[in-house]
Amino acid sequence: MSDSLIRYLQDIPFAEELAAWASFETCSDDPDGLAHFRHVLHSRFASLGASVELEGDAHLLARWPGKGKPILVLGHYDTVYPRGTLAIQPVERRGDQLFGPGVVDMKGGLLIGCVAIQVLRELERMGPRPIWFLCTSDEELGSPTSRAAIEKLAQQSAVALVLEAAGSGGALKTARKGVGLYELAIMGRAAHAGVAPEQGRSALLELAHQIIWLHELNDAARGTTVNVCVASGGTTTNVIPAEARAAVNVRVRTIAEGERIAAALAARRPIVEDVTLRFTGGLNRPPMERTPAIAALFEHARRLGCDLGLELEEIATGGGSDGNFTAALGIPTLDGLGPVGGGAHALHEHVDLASFVPRTALFARLLETL
């Protein structure tokens, strides 16, 4: 079953097509850049016989018909790199690796999805279920405009397959932490730092207390992390600072733990006299918990991988993806089905080109057999 897939895939010019795709700059906040690449994707899907429509302003939904509940395939075509990045970080092949913005996170995954459908069609091996392939444009922002569409489609689907990059060594992802984003705003009172410092109430002193308290919420045994990732405050060098703020990143394995942290933040009181503080925000992505259905889905993929010479392992990760939304709805979700690579969001972002043939074959076998 797998041999004919592999033979077909060995002739596919993965590196060339991925290099062309990565040469489109598609930062989440660049509507023109996103639109240019969306047209490329649209024609690619259309050439594969899909009916393609726009979900909202910028998300593409490609559909292939079938019987029963669909397989939902998720990917995003936005990147974190602002326009102009290609001038300093060009798309470049070095040996068996391709470097460039978004190659692993996650245009490489989108390519795997497209070619898997291509090979199944060519070999007349499309599975029985409908396939719904959703490509979104705002995942790197936390999916504010695509979340509703993802959840609506997931609720009608049998399973969700997410083409985000593989874990190290090619591992699939069967659990992801939930992501909470909070902002802490502190109001004190300004005063002259030399003439009347006693009349001031330092928002920055309060912030210092709160940062230490927030970091004490870290709980390795529960897998909970709390980090202040941005902080600012004050106006100039001789004024007691009246305002300060901080951005707090929270990661949790379970919804219950997310609620525990939310309650702790809501009940928090200031330390410095006459200062006020307020936390806003909340859980942006619910955790993807490893349910028995997710474990069974992984086991199915692992067996298919064996036939292809892949020794697939599963990992839990602290990073979130759109798979968090589908898993939280109880839809069996398997993530990390994209290529092997590294350096996501960084100067050395790259993919291992040798991973494309076996992982596309794996993805095709999943679509064929689920």
Residues found near Zn ion in the complex (CB under 5 A): 105-106, 164
The answer to whether 305 and 162 are in contact (CB under 8 A) is: no
User: Which sign, positive or negative, has the C-alpha torsion 362, 363, 366, 367?
Assistant: negative
Nearer to Zn ion, 106 or 366 (CB): 106
Residues 6+ apart with CB under 8 A from 318: 176, 177, 225, 251
Burial 236-274 (b: 16+ CB within 10 A, else e): eeeebbbbbbbebebbbbbeebbeebbeebeeeebebee
Nearer to Zn ion, 106 or 294 (CB): 106
Q: Is 151 exposed, middle or buried (0-12, 13-18, 19+ CB in 10 A)?
A: middle
By beta carbon distance, the residue nearest Zn ion is 105
Q: Residue 257 corresponds to which amino acid?
A: E
Nearer to Zn ion, 60 or 214 (CB): 60
What is the nearest approach in angstroms of Zn ion to the Cβ of residue 30? Answer: 16
Q: How far apart are CA 332 and CA 341, in angstroms?
A: 25
Nearer to Zn ion, 106 or 297 (CB): 106
**For helices 31-47 and 108-122, what crossing angle results, to 10°?**
20
Q: How far apart are CA 142 and CA 319, in angstroms?
A: 11
What is the nearest approach in angstroms of Zn ion to the Cβ of residue 138? Answer: 11
Q: Residue 327 corresponds to which amino acid?
A: A
Nearer to Zn ion, 281 or 319 (CB): 319
Nearer to Zn ion, 34 or 106 (CB): 106
Phi-psi group of 49: left, alpha or beta (phi > 0 → left; psi -120 to 50 → alpha; rest → beta): left
What is the nearest approach in angstroms of Zn ion to the Cβ of residue 285? Answer: 12
What is the nearest approach in angstroms of Zn ion to the Cβ of residue 112? Answer: 13
Nearer to Zn ion, 129 or 251 (CB): 251
Nearer to Zn ion, 210 or 326 (CB): 326
The answer to whether 242 and 220 are in contact (CB under 8 A) is: no
What is the nearest approach in angstroms of Zn ion to the Cβ of residue 77? Answer: 10
The answer to whether 120 and 364 are in contact (CB under 8 A) is: yes
For 133, the token pair is 């392939």
What is the nearest approach in angstroms of Zn ion to the Cβ of residue 240? Answer: 43
What is the nearest approach in angstroms of Zn ion to the Cβ of residue 105? Answer: 4
What is the nearest approach in angstroms of Zn ion to the Cβ of residue 251? Answer: 16
